[in-house]
Amino acid sequence: MKRLAETAENLYQNSSLWAQLGRKTKTCLFLEYIKMCPQDSSARQALLEVELEQFRYCQHEWPAGILYGHDGATIDQCQDLLAAVDTFRQLDIEKKYTQFIEEFQKKVECYKERLDRESRSSTISDIKDSPDRDDQSQSKR
């Protein structure tokens, strides 16, 4: 499992083999391996580095937003990122990345709150602009 995780880029290019493994990502493969061999510090460090790379990518357009894949993260995807942050903290036994992960978490939470506000604002605006509302207000006049 560890070797599959370490060579995941090659695995991704062999579609049939990757499909046999359930299209698991490098992160998933490392997590599965670490569950089987929790004492393997090199695998834990490799997973931390994979996750750090992902988190750095996610935040590289900050303060404009947080990315998830190639698009801005949704509220649900922000929740997924925050869950990944929790897992990351558990794996960071030496606490080498505490400052980075705290800053990243704050950015994701801030972005999630922004999305939530925009969603509520949009919903209120949609209600105000709905044709049914116009019909009701005209019939009362």
Look at residue 87 and tell me if it is in a domain: yes
Look at residue 62 and tell me if it is in a domain: yes
- How far is 24 from 12, CA to CA, in rounded Å? 9
pLDDT tens, position by position, 91-138: 999 999 999 999 999 999 999 999 999 988 876 655 666 666 555 555
Look at residue 135 and tell me if it is in a domain: no
Q: Indicate yes or no: pTM above 0.75.
A: yes
Is 70 found in the same domain as 19?
Answer: no
- How far is 29 from 103, CA to CA, in rounded Å? 27
Look at residue 25 and tell me if it is in a domain: yes
Is 95 found in the same domain as 60?
Answer: yes
Is 14 found in the same domain as 66?
Answer: no
Q: Out of 24, 39, 54, pick the residue that ends a domain.
A: 39
Look at residue 93 and tell me if it is in a domain: yes
Angle at CA of residue 59, ends 56 and 64, nearest 5°:
160
Residue 6's domain comprises: 1-39
Strands (DSSP E) along the chain, which ranges?
Answer: 67-68, 71-72
pLDDT tens, position by position, 21-43: 999 999 999 999 999 999 999 99
